[in-house]
Amino acid sequence: MNKHKYKHPDTSTEFSDALSREKLTTKDTRRTSSPQLRGSKVMPGAAVTEMTNIKAANADPTLIGRRSSTRKQSQPDSTPPRPAQNTKKIDPEEDTEGVYSILVQTRRCEELCSGLGLTMKDIRKMKRKYDSNDMFHSGEINQAEFFFMIKEERRPLTLGILKFADVPETQKFLTFDQYLLCIVNFAVLTKPELYQFVFDLYDDDQSGALDERKFTKMSLELQSQQFHFQANVSMAIKLLEGKEGRAVFAPDDGMVDLGEFMKFAKNFPVAFYPIMNMQKNVRASILGESRWSHITASKLKVQELVSFMRRHQGALPQLTFRESIVNIFSSEVFYIRKRAGELYALELAQRHRLSTDDVDEG
């Protein structure tokens, strides 16, 4: 029985045939498609169309402009149009930024309250006080209700508080914003600022000095029987009115300027008890003494930092150890330093504007 030998297939021939088929396939692929960049997401056939378009554009250059314009029109603009810059000067009585929602209606009042760090809670508390004293529910309080609220009588000295809101004495009603301007400005005055408030009140012609007529008018008002401790106030006033006392503070012409007035106030503060007592009543009636003391202390700290920045070319002092600890638990330190930086930047802008105006005039 013959044994059939197994014949191995000719692998060399099969391999060469497969290699030939692979080369043919590769050539066909190169002819029909162009190589794609790695990571590109091009649909099949898109590359061929693009190459055809490019060739056509090379043949006719006008097609390039047509394609680019068509493409710009078809693509939606994802970026919204930039609003036109408003170069109009902001009216202090308008355009609030909404810091206190709809409670505060004027920019002037909003900037005052936010600059002193009054919170939304403070403003709401003051609004409730304002509304509770609106006896006729008219939406505004009259002057009688205003002075009743701060526990003061309506007299020349106390009427000075209305000047903070530019309210004439003949105006019957006060809006909530006018009420805020009066209360907030007066409540945060320091002692020297209270003395200057009295000086400015009786320097009605803004001459910078009090003559005998103005000084007599101020003396009579401060010695009013309606004030407590009237006898002590009268004694202090007489020290200035007498020859010896007046000679210390007033020059030969009998005029008392602000510097001399402040010197007298520092030596005889009891003479200004009525205005200090008025501030005490205002603070106690609205938000309370402790809250206003805290707000005033923050105001003084801001002024101190601004003074430091003037001397050190805008640099802020390093935080003290106590401030570093407080800064961990409260944002008050950050707010005070931020406010000081804003005020200093505002000063620089004003100086630059003044210097520019001088150059233009020259």
Is 144 a domain residue?
A: yes
Q: How many helices (H) and strands (E) in the chain? A: 17, 4
Examine the domain organization and report whether 132 and 222 are in the same domain.
no
pLDDT of residue 288: 95
Q: What does the pLDDT read at residue 22?
A: 53
Same domain, 272 and 216: yes
Same domain (yes/no): 157, 247:
no
Identify the domain boundary among 228, 252, 287: 287
With respect to residue 168, please indicate whether it lies within any of the assigned structural domains.
yes
Give backbone dihedrals phi and psi of 209, rounded to 5 degrees, phi first.
-155, 155
* Model pLDDT, residue 237: 62
Is residue 27 one of the residues assigned to a domain? no
Catalogue the long-range contacts made by 341-346 (C-beta closer than 8 Å, 24 or more residues apart).
341/309, 341/316, 343/302, 343/306, 344/306, 344/309, 344/310, 344/314
Considering 146, 168, 188, which residue would you say is the last residue of a domain? 188
Q: What CATH number did the domain enclosing 197 receive?
A: 1.10.238
Residue 173 and residue 144: Cα distance in Å, rounded? 9
Q: What CA–CA distances, in Å, run from 122 to 45, 102, 182? A: 69, 14, 15
Residue 141: φ, ψ to 5°? -100, 150
Amino acid found at 4: H
Same domain, 157 and 242: no
The model's pLDDT over 100-132, given as tens digits with 9 standing for 90+, comes to 989 999 999 999 999 899 999 999 999 999 999
Q: What is the pLDDT of residue 177?
A: 97
CB 142 within 8 A of CB 174: yes
The confidence score (pLDDT) of residue 232 equals 59
Nearest to 190 by CA among 268, 112, 265, 267: 265
Angle, nearest 10°, between helix axes 191-202 and 212-222? 120
Count structural domains, the chain. Answer: 3
The domain containing residue 352 runs over which residues?
A: 289-361
Neighbours of 336 (CB within 10 A): 19
Are residue 296 and residue 263 in the same domain, yes or no?
no
Has residue 78 been placed in a domain? no
105 part of a folded domain:
yes
Domain assignment of residue 31, yes or no: no
Residue stretches of the chain with pLDDT short of 70: 1-94, 224-253, 358-362
pLDDT, residue 256, reads 85
Same domain membership, residue 300 and residue 272: no
Q: Of 235, 268, 287, which residue is a domain's last?
A: 287
Q: Read off the pLDDT of residues 193-241 as tens digits, 9 standing for 90 and up.
A: 999 999 999 998 888 888 888 888 888 888 765 555 555 556 666 665 5
Q: What is the pLDDT of residue 277?
A: 92
Residue 222 shares a structural domain with residue 204: yes
> What pLDDT is recorded for position 273?
87
Query: 3-state DSSP call for residue 173?
Result: strand
